[in-house]
Structure 1
Amino acid sequence: MDPSLFYLDDTQDNGDDRSVKRTRERAPLAVRMRPRTLDEVVGQKHLLKPGSPLRLLAGDQGGPAGPSSLILWGPPGTGKTTLANVIAGSAGRKFVELSAITAGVKDVRSVMEQALEDRDFRGLTTVLFLDEIHRFSKAQQDALLPGVENRWVVLVAATTENPSFSVIAPLLSRSILLTLQGLTDHDIAQLLSRALTDPRGFAGAVSLQEEAADHLVKLAAGDARRALTALEAAAAVAFGQAHAEGQNYSVNQPLPITLEHAQEALNQSLVRYDKNGDQHYDVTSAFIKSIRGSDVDAALHYLARMIDAGEDPRFIARRLIVHASEDIGMADPTALTSAVNAAQAVQLVGLPEARINLAQATIHLATAPKSNAVYRAIDDALADVRSGKAGLVPLHLRDGHYQGAAALGHGKGYIYPHDQKNAVARQQYSPDTLHGAVYYRPTVFGNEQAMGDRLKRLKALRTPLPRNSARD
């Protein structure tokens, strides 16, 4: 049952009560409750201070003209479209909305031409709201530049992805970037409370029990649109049950929305995650850093977020494999085995069962002793190679199996380690240019605690004796 089909019908009077009637279809609650002024906006206080670009551009306070264009970057449901509408509501403004999903270069140019005509002949300023600008190609974004630079339009572009990567530099330089923050639980609760009493909402016809309110706030995950949509759905469930039971409710006796109604309407929280955008990288980064920081519970939380949001489990397994060597290495060599086994389990079993294997590997890695000695060792060795310190392979280590190699001295003087005491030969292995270079420096954690002493003993056994000394 669509909750947007309910509203208070003043034409039918039952005594002193106004009955809730199921009538014509109306706009969704989230649209009806959209703020009309900046003072009605909930959250984003950091962007709404006196003298801020938004205040100036919206024209709700005196001062010089605001910036010509804005790029609003933030999660869904934080008010990007709302702010664009408020800005457009100022006197002498014309609002035009385009979606980057459906609009093309031709549409953009058409808006620009009309905006120029409206400015010059009608004295109107066009506010162009472009939703999901990150979906525009470079050519499509280029088409915006003349109108933005010459102020034919006030561009208000919205994006959920980092503009540094998704918006062309010339457009960024001509706009002010404003970062919107996810709404707090207090903000969401305030929105729900307003919707219950506001004439644009339920106008007092329903009430929200505390447990139901807490449930809706929690599952909204900072998304105003989701919170209001959930409230509307919960109200629809309550209205439907009341209608089936023949109950009548009025403003004097509001229809209660219970926890059961809210749970039936919305039983799964929204996980903010995009497999190709900022959330993908941010959550993955937090996952790895939690493992590196030995916080097993935080690591499991981020693992759960990735799994629940539909991340490719093979990607998660690959990150675990990398981390096992990068941040644990020889401190616990079995960590790599655990990560590889989890990757194999993902291939053989798949989700949902493989979530357990991934969790096991995550727990192993998070609780393992940490060392980045392996990571530093290979990077230091690569740095020397790339800086020209490679040098020639010592003659005694060169391949001496092909015809003519012996005449070149290849392999001459090579000592076979297995013929020596302790299976270690006293001979040089590094090129002369890197003789004595040290790359692997074990830590004192885990298995590497004993590794340092072992390396010292091996180096002593491997170092060639002075020429006048006897060989082992």
Structure 2
Amino acid sequence: MDAPGLFELAEPPDSSGSGSLGTGPASGDEPLAVRMRPHTLDELVGQDHLLTPGSPLRQVVEGGQPMSVILWGPPGSGKTTIAHLVARSDDRRFRAMSALNSGVKDVRAAIEEARRVRRTGGPQTILFIDEVHRFTKTQQDSLLSAVEDRTITLLAATTENPYFSVVAPLVSRCVLLTLRELGDTDVAAVIDRALEDPRGLGKAVELTDEARDHLIRTAAGDARKALTALEAAAASRIHGSAGTAERAEAEGDPRITVAVVEAAIDTAAVRYDRDGDGHYDVASAFIKSLRGSDVDAAMHYLARMVVAGEDPRFIARRLVIFASEDVGMADPTALQTATAAATAVERIGLPEARINLAQAVVHLATAPKSNAVITAIDEAIGDVRSGKIGPVPPDLRDAHYKGSAELGHGAAYVYPHDDPLGVVPQRYAPDVVAGHDYYRPTRHGDEAAIADRLEKLRRIVRKRADD
């Protein structure tokens, strides 16, 4: 009997939990996304950069030189599909584990079993760990020696950046393969194949161009999401699973329209093109509503982007930028809120992360506004690019290396912490820009207090000792 949380993809599901990732031989009634999984690497869409002859991915799938691999990519990009392709190999033993329901005990049991099989002349074991970023440091560390001596060949999948979510020793022992988010053309190819292929819908329904575009838009680069929505829409046509009015409309009509897709996935069709003018118009209106402190309009445009399938990371990035560009020091906590929302998007994802984005929108829209920060840095960059780059004052130069004293470096530097006020008269800027006020705070919010303090600071700092 397998250890808890483990299963062998090449065998039928059993009571050990082997069905937890939807694996095992096809029975004909699996979800459309499962039935349409590629049977060969050449059917994998959107990852051409990984499919060159002799590439690490081909070696892993086709049984070349054994190497441990971390697959990093967004949901629906093909990580689990690659695991299934590896599992189809006849000359290797394939075990799988989900980090959601497995612990150190399960990891060690899998390693010991792999070691026993190898000692008795059995095949090499490939251990697939889904969502490896959810493993604790201890759980990840428990894999190190087995990966190092090739007791197992690790195939790990994650949606999180491995350099932050996976321990460095494990990353260094693996080949990192980055899967790209599927583009609209890739998702379209997946949908079209499912409509035609006997494994899928086998031409039982017809998809209108508008409905196809809507499916692509709401999928947001996630092939699994697109196929799930397509299956729900097709079911309402084939089986009449929608409401009474929908069944009457569907009778004898195999067409899937936008209305059918909406009813099936409970998502309103919003006229919003993620790659066209609509995308930029809505995003522009969103930012301008925040800048204008109209929280209700900003919330409306946020809702339009969420419903239309906009990448939540795009929204989060705009909020983080806005927090510094349009709020700045008028409310320094705005950047903290926006950054926290961006982190929540990465860790949680939609639909729950819509709440985090909405909280950030409320904070940023109602916060006092100031563009003094962006004005300061852009003006300073402009001066540097125009050639205003004077020598660093001698008193500020590095005085730690041998010979620096003879050059006069740091000779007259005054340590501010030695002064009761913590601020001393001293020349910091090069002469070419000395006395220039880049940062000009407003009187809005917290920046009013900063403006008062800054006036005093400049008066002290710019007062020469001999004045």
TM over 0.5: yes
* Structure-2 change in CA distance of 1:354 and 1:231 (3 Å): same
Residue by residue over 1:346-399, the C-alpha shift from the partner in whole angstroms, topping out at 9 and shown as x without a partner, is xxxx9969846734769x5579961139999xxx9xx97x999444799xx979
2:373·2:439 contact (CA, 8 Å) conserved in 1?
no
> Paired residue for 1:76?
75
Name the larger-Rg structure: 1
Structure 2's unaligned 5+ residue stretches are 1-26, 269-282, 292-297, 338-355, 382-391, 400-409, 443-450
> Paired residue for 2:196?
197
The DSSP-based 3-state class of the residue aligned with 1:26 is coil
2:437 to 438, 442, 455: 442
1:181 and 1:98 map into 2 onto residues whose CA distance is: 24
* Structure-2 change in CA distance of 1:125 and 1:205 (3 Å): same
The DSSP-based 3-state class of the residue aligned with 1:177 is strand
Question: Per-residue deviation at 1:155?
Answer: 1.0
* Structure-2 change in CA distance of 1:323 and 1:143 (3 Å): same
* Structure-2 change in CA distance of 1:371 and 1:32 (3 Å): same
1:256 and 1:236 map into 2 onto residues whose CA distance is: 12
Letter aligned with residue 202 of structure 2: A
2:325·2:373 contact (CA, 8 Å) conserved in 1?
no
Letter aligned with residue 87 of structure 1: V
Matches within 5 A, 1:218-257: 218-238=217-237, 239-240=239-240, 245=247, 255-257=254-256
2:417 and 2:90 map into 1 onto residues whose CA distance is: 79
* Structure-2 change in CA distance of 1:125 and 1:240 (3 Å): same
> Paired residue for 2:57?
54
1:246 and 1:267 map into 2 onto residues whose CA distance is: 19
1:149 and 1:351 map into 2 onto residues whose CA distance is: 42
Question: Per-residue deviation at 1:232?
Answer: 0.9
1:233·1:265 contact (CA, 8 Å) conserved in 2?
yes
2:459 and 2:142 map into 1 onto residues whose CA distance is: 67
The DSSP-based 3-state class of the residue aligned with 1:435 is coil
* Structure-2 change in CA distance of 1:197 and 1:371 (3 Å): same
Question: Per-residue deviation at 1:265?
Answer: 2.1
* Structure-2 change in CA distance of 1:339 and 1:370 (3 Å): farther
Residue by residue over 1:234-265, the C-alpha shift from the partner in whole angstroms, topping out at 9 and shown as x without a partner, is 1123332689547898xxx8721111111122
Question: Per-residue deviation at 1:46?
Answer: 0.4
Which 10-residue stretch deviates more, 51-60 or 189-198? 51-60
2:372 and 2:423 map into 1 onto residues whose CA distance is: 36
The DSSP-based 3-state class of the residue aligned with 1:372 is helix
Asked if 1:34 is matched to 2:32, the reply is no
Which 10-residue stretch deviates more, 367-376 or 129-138? 367-376
Task: Give the TM-score taking structure 2 as reference length.
Answer: 0.60
> Paired residue for 1:372?
377
The alignment yields a C-alpha RMSD, in angstroms, of 5.1
* Structure-2 change in CA distance of 1:440 and 1:145 (3 Å): farther
1:366 and 1:266 map into 2 onto residues whose CA distance is: 42
2:332 and 2:103 map into 1 onto residues whose CA distance is: 49
> Paired residue for 1:108?
107
Asked if 1:266 is matched to 2:271, the reply is no
Question: Per-residue deviation at 1:298?
Answer: 12
The DSSP-based 3-state class of the residue aligned with 2:375 is coil
Letter aligned with residue 240 of structure 1: G
1:115 and 1:182 map into 2 onto residues whose CA distance is: 34
* Structure-2 change in CA distance of 1:440 and 1:144 (3 Å): farther
1:296·1:366 contact (CA, 8 Å) conserved in 2?
no
Matches within 5 A, 1:26-175: 26-59=29-62, 65-175=64-174
Letter aligned with residue 224 of structure 2: R
Residue by residue over 1:23-63, the C-alpha shift from the partner in whole angstroms, topping out at 9 and shown as x without a partner, is x9921111111111101111111011111011122227xxx
Structure 1's unaligned 5+ residue stretches are 1-23, 270-289, 330-335, 344-349, 400-428, 467-472
The DSSP-based 3-state class of the residue aligned with 2:86 is helix
Letter aligned with residue 257 of structure 2: T
Question: Per-residue deviation at 1:231?
Answer: 0.6
Task: Give the TM-score taking structure 1 as reference length.
Answer: 0.60
2:68·2:175 contact (CA, 8 Å) conserved in 1?
yes
Question: Per-residue deviation at 1:305?
Answer: 8.7
Letter aligned with residue 442 of structure 1: D
Which 10-residue stretch deviates more, 29-38 or 231-240? 231-240
* Structure-2 change in CA distance of 1:59 and 1:338 (3 Å): closer
